[in-house]
Structure 1
Amino acid sequence: MEKKKSQWETIKRVLKYTKKYNIYIAFSLILAAVTVVLTLYLPILTGNAVDLMLGKDAVKFTGLMAILKKMVVIIAFTALAQWLMNICNNKITYNVVRDIRKDAFEKIQILPLKYIDGHPSGDVVSRVIADADQFADGLLMGFTQAFTGVLTILGTLIFMLSLNVWITLVVVIVTPLSFFVASFIARKTYTMFKLQSATRGEQTALIDEMVGNQKVVQAYGHEKEALDKFDDINKRLQKYSLQATFFSSITNPATRFVNNIVYAGVGVTGAFFALNGYLSVGMLSCFLGYANQYTKPFNEISGVVTELQNAIACASRVLELIDEEPQIPEDDDAVELTGVKGEVELSGVYFSYVEDKKLITDFNLDVKPGQRVAIVGPTGCGKTTLINLLMRFYDVNEGSIKVDGTDIRHLTRASLRKNIGMVLQETWLKDGTIFENIVMGKPNATKEEVIAAAKATHAHSFIKRLANGYDTVIKEDGDTLSQGQKQLLCITRVMLLKPPMLILDEATSSIDTRTEIKIQNAFGKLMEGRTSFIVAHRLSTIQNADIILVMKDGNIIEQGNHDELLKKKGFYYNLYNSQFA
């Protein structure tokens, strides 16, 4: 019952997406009706033609030629109607899939970081790309064959009833067997197609993970483990795919068997009526044609049913993504952060990624405008978490974070992030030119501004050595560049913005010492008058900070400037000396 309810919910959701294209649906139905009527009229003409040539030297050529001309015109109109109907069906299908993909991608933009962190990127990609494609194939088949199939069945019944009621009854009595066979198989296929889609997503996630980190996989000799895991997923995918294909493939032969029974019944009954003079030979051939046309849609519809099972299973995965809880919406009265001074206050902040696992507890901090705050401590102490909270990638569980006296939950996310320039240890570059990557945060920047920022970060020299300079196209994540060069481009991106506040999370970790010294000087100029948060493991880079926060287990255990903390001979003193021992 739950499964049926789930399927119907998915179908209802898909039908909502088709509402915008009711005009195309109406045209498709009209054209389907025209196609069916013209197709069903052909057997009558064929029967009439047969009756005009029943014996030697008894062929009435004049009447036969008139019928043949009429048949040619009808066939031409039928082909035109089918072509136009297919255009309408394609419009419906690919517009609906485009809308679903658009909604899915828009949802990804507003999903909380918790969802992205907790789901393999390959699975998310599989939902938006592969599952949407599978859904499109099933939906197109549904629109193309379901309309004409149902109309053909109804039309054929009407035409057959007008010719002979008793032979029609033979057809109607035997046909329900097709429905029984199709519905039995459909129940089996949905489960298998659902498992097939989920496993395909799991496989995509593994491939994405392994290919994206192939150097690490090879460096640590992880190839065998990766292959074993892939083989395990691949075998499960093979199993579910075979079962899904098996159940869907027996639909057609099973319904064809029933259809052959119908055809034989019509042939025997019709022959009996013809021999007794109740039916002409031409009308018998007409009935046999109708029997064939009547049963054919059952094959098509049964095929559509199994294909739709796959489509619904795939659609449900995409809709699950669309239905995910978005990040906490902004307040109706959320204000834009403008004229930033840079005062930051954290009061009684509590936060944890997992409810029963505490991380930051009762965190308090008051940062004056223009101060440089360095955050140090052992791995896992909460340094990067604090950055995530300041950028509002996550919201605090308790307490508040204020910028210039306003709780950041009452500010628009866009204006908050626009006023904070952030350079992370993990570099990210998009597929495009060097210039496009640098101006990401300031699309209207001039070439001169970009070059000035690149010179300040000492990225200009290596950019000029590239094949096309600033117009050099790099692939996603800049695989053709070294880690240090990628980090320089990310730093240049922030240098171009000159935001009122800065966050530097291990911003120079992949850069050689000589270049780092130069960049630190550039950062020094950039940080003048700007509130800055610097996360660093190399303590030599933060000696000029106004405040150094020493964190451990989510709490500040020491704070002060470099000299003050060394005099205390506490945790920072030991940490500092351990690096220079």
Structure 2
Amino acid sequence: MLVQLLRHHLRPYRAAVAAILVLQLVQTVATLWLPSLNARIIDDGVVQGDTAAIWRIGAIMLAVSFVQVVGAVAAVYYGARTSMAFGRDVRGRLFGHVQTFSAQEVGKFGAPTLITRTTNDVQQVQMVVLMSFTMLLMAPIMLVGGVVMALQEDVALSGILVVAVPVLGVVVGLVISRMIPYFRQVQKRIDAINRVMREQIAGVRVVRAFVRERQESARFAVANTELFDSSLRVGRLMAVMFPVVMLVMNVTSIAVLWFGAGRIESGAMQIGALTAFLSYIMYILMAVMMSTMMFVMVPRAVVSAERIGEVLETSTSVLAPVEPTALPEGVGARPGLLELRGVEFRYPGAEQAVLQGVDLVAAPGRTTAIIGSTGSGKTTLLNLVPRLFDVTDGAVLLDGVDVRDIEPEVLWSQVGLVPQKPYLFSGTIRSNLLYGRPDATDEELWHALTVAQARPFVEALAEGLDAPITQGGTNVSGGQRQRLAIARALVRRPKVYLFDDSFSALDYATDAALRAALVPETREATVLVVAQRVATIRHADQIVVLEDGKVVAVGTHTELLESSQTYREIVYSQVSEQEAA
């Protein structure tokens, strides 16, 4: 998976990769040439007392050193730019792909792990790309070039490499094979600690209300300790590997000096050649060392690439149509007509369907209310309209066209959804309202706030429309958050309004005023309201009663009081018989 990820996302940067390779080649050749020049200074200049040769060869060494430095700086510069661009592209692709997910796929992974995979996992792969450009490309060139140059200096002494290099390879292989499962465990435990933190930060009010700070601290401590233990195992392996590598390098240096001294004494080798040979041995072992450092990072990058690939290879269950069908227009069209025909919805792996055989018609200019006990499928039904989920049987139609055959952007432009838990984005009141329609004027924004009964509290703020909103809207009350979410939907002016228990945080007076103000605003639109409070829906044109995922009754408030036992039980659990009439 790591290779596929690199191949796909580095393809646009092939020219840059080729340039980096050339620069690394130039830098490595210059590096390998320097010990040979140094040997010539010692053997031809110092030993023989030829000052002219020292100056001449020294000048060449300065020029080669300059080329080496320029090549190294340029290679690191272009390597850093390319690796950062790679990370940016992978994050962008991940984010764009997650945006296509339905609620089902998001729920399958969970928000904490999707965040970790988009940030931490991408960073792990990005670091391997950077290290590859700065070290991995140079390591094989240095290794091969060092062997060639060492053989030129002394073939017999090069036999030491036959022992040193395999020993290093075996040590590195054993350690890396142990690291991969530990790195996989580390990434999973980073997910776990992110999940715990997210829950505790988002639910801080609940934690404090139930005085559970100590228990939550203990839960975080468990996740934190598990991550510490996994990281410690990796650290121990790394702590073993590097001293062993250094030991092999030092023993190899001692062996070179030991046997090299004997060859110098016998006249088979010169002092300068031994100095150069020692440098080449160090280059070869340094190449192995650099490869070792890469091998330490590669296992974690492999795990991260697998996790990234798992997201990218997951297809959304809500697919865009191959040949979209346009919504009807002109004479005879009823924009906003919503129909559910034999709708069934079953979560993957569930034994029973949440919705079964639901038939429903919601016409423009009319308000259709949906009521039922907890778990009866009200919210699920509403989520099928904008295709947050797709039906597993039957069909949902808008203006006579199956929503699965409508271009998603076209469908979403026709629907204004106010979810059960209204969410506001960090920014201002203005930016949140413009989320509904970016080209809306201030006059339209204030009008939507007026209808949503939010204008008084917004006007009371010093900054007005430019008052700041924190992430999730946590700096406003639940009722204010609901009213701002309703105003955002009104700014959009869709054909279909979906209110998912969107008045639950409002007092009865505000609820009544808001419902009255909505009537002229939604006169030509279809309105679907899910509610638990009978007072919110009693004046609806049509009330649908759900029980165990089935429609058990349809009618007005008065009709249902007479004909539906389920509806009567819901009503009388909230108001008296006299108030219900």
Deviates more, 1:287-296 or 1:226-235: 226-235
* Corresponding residue of 1:561: 556
Give the conservation status (yes or no) of the 8 Å contact 2:395–2:402. Answer: yes
* Corresponding residue of 2:326: 336
Matches within 5 A, 1:85-484: 85-337=75-327, 339=329, 341-353=335-347, 354-484=349-479
Please give the alpha-carbon distance, in whole angstroms, between the structure 1 residues aligned to 2:293 and 2:328: 60
Shift of 1:53: 6.3
- What do the CA deviations read for 1:81-128 (whole angstroms, capped 9, x no partner)? 101101121122112211211111111111121121233311111111
Letter in 1 for 2:339: E
Please give the alpha-carbon distance, in whole angstroms, between the structure 2 residues aligned to 1:229 and 1:36: 52
Shift of 1:338: 5.6
Letter in 2 for 1:247: L
Pair 314,546 (structure 1): closer, same or farther in 2 beyond 3 Å: same
Shift of 1:49: 2.4
Shift of 1:62: 3.4
Letter in 2 for 1:310: R
Pair 12,565 (structure 1): closer, same or farther in 2 beyond 3 Å: closer
Letter in 2 for 1:535: V
Shift of 1:256: 2.0
* Corresponding residue of 1:6: none
Give the conservation status (yes or no) of the 8 Å contact 1:105–1:128. Answer: yes
* Corresponding residue of 1:11: 3
Give the conservation status (yes or no) of the 8 Å contact 1:427–1:486. Answer: yes
Give the conservation status (yes or no) of the 8 Å contact 2:497–2:525. Answer: yes
Pair 334,273 (structure 1): closer, same or farther in 2 beyond 3 Å: same
Please give the alpha-carbon distance, in whole angstroms, between the structure 2 residues aligned to 1:467 and 1:82: 56
TM-score when normalising by structure 1: 0.94
What SS class does the counterpart of residue 166 from structure 1 fall into? coil
The unaligned stretches of length 5 or more in structure 2 are 577-581
Letter in 1 for 2:342: G
Please give the alpha-carbon distance, in whole angstroms, between the structure 2 residues aligned to 1:208 and 1:235: 17
Counterpart check, 1:29 vs 2:21 = yes
Please give the alpha-carbon distance, in whole angstroms, between the structure 1 residues aligned to 2:179 and 2:294: 12
Counting aligned pairs with the same residue, the percent is: 26
Letter in 2 for 1:343: L
Shift of 1:73: 2.4
Deviates more, 1:169-178 or 1:553-562: 169-178
Shift of 1:52: 5.3
Please give the alpha-carbon distance, in whole angstroms, between the structure 2 residues aligned to 1:442 and 1:545: 28
Letter in 1 for 2:536: T
Pair 472,59 (structure 1): closer, same or farther in 2 beyond 3 Å: farther
Shift of 1:129: 0.9
Letter in 2 for 1:356: E
Letter in 2 for 1:311: A
Letter in 1 for 2:245: T
* Corresponding residue of 2:517: 522
What SS class does the counterpart of residue 347 from structure 1 fall into? strand
Give the conservation status (yes or no) of the 8 Å contact 1:425–1:505. Answer: yes
Deviates more, 1:282-291 or 1:362-371: 362-371
Give the conservation status (yes or no) of the 8 Å contact 2:364–2:527. Answer: no
Shift of 1:211: 0.6
Deviates more, 1:336-345 or 1:34-43: 336-345
Give the conservation status (yes or no) of the 8 Å contact 2:340–2:396. Answer: yes
Shift of 1:263: 1.9
Shift of 1:135: 2.2
Please give the alpha-carbon distance, in whole angstroms, between the structure 1 residues aligned to 2:327 and 2:350: 31
Shift of 1:434: 1.3
What SS class does the counterpart of residue 341 from structure 2 fall into? strand
Shift of 1:569: 6.0
Shift of 1:551: 1.0
Give the conservation status (yes or no) of the 8 Å contact 2:26–2:71. Answer: yes
- What do the CA deviations read for 1:238-279 (whole angstroms, capped 9, x no partner)? 111111122123222222222223222222222222111122
Matches within 5 A, 1:14-93: 14-51=6-43, 59-93=49-83
* Corresponding residue of 2:579: none
Shift of 1:487: 1.3
Letter in 2 for 1:333: E
What SS class does the counterpart of residue 440 from structure 1 fall into? coil
Shift of 1:428: 0.8
Give the conservation status (yes or no) of the 8 Å contact 1:342–1:500. Answer: yes
Letter in 2 for 1:414: E
What SS class does the counterpart of residue 175 from structure 1 fall into? helix
Please give the alpha-carbon distance, in whole angstroms, between the structure 2 residues aligned to 1:386 and 1:334: 23
* Corresponding residue of 1:575: 570
Please give the alpha-carbon distance, in whole angstroms, between the structure 2 residues aligned to 1:453 and 1:569: 37
Counterpart check, 1:534 vs 2:492 = no
Pair 51,167 (structure 1): closer, same or farther in 2 beyond 3 Å: same
Please give the alpha-carbon distance, in whole angstroms, between the structure 2 residues aligned to 1:496 and 1:146: 55
What SS class does the counterpart of residue 580 from structure 1 fall into? coil
Give the conservation status (yes or no) of the 8 Å contact 1:251–1:303. Answer: no
Give the conservation status (yes or no) of the 8 Å contact 1:375–1:534. Answer: yes
Letter in 1 for 2:405: H
What SS class does the counterpart of residue 395 from structure 2 fall into? strand
Please give the alpha-carbon distance, in whole angstroms, between the structure 1 residues aligned to 2:365 and 2:465: 33
What SS class does the counterpart of residue 357 from structure 1 fall into? coil
The unaligned stretches of length 5 or more in structure 1 are 1-8
What SS class does the counterpart of residue 44 from structure 1 fall into? helix
Question: CA RMSD of the aligned region, Å?
Answer: 1.8
Deviates more, 1:467-476 or 1:371-380: 467-476
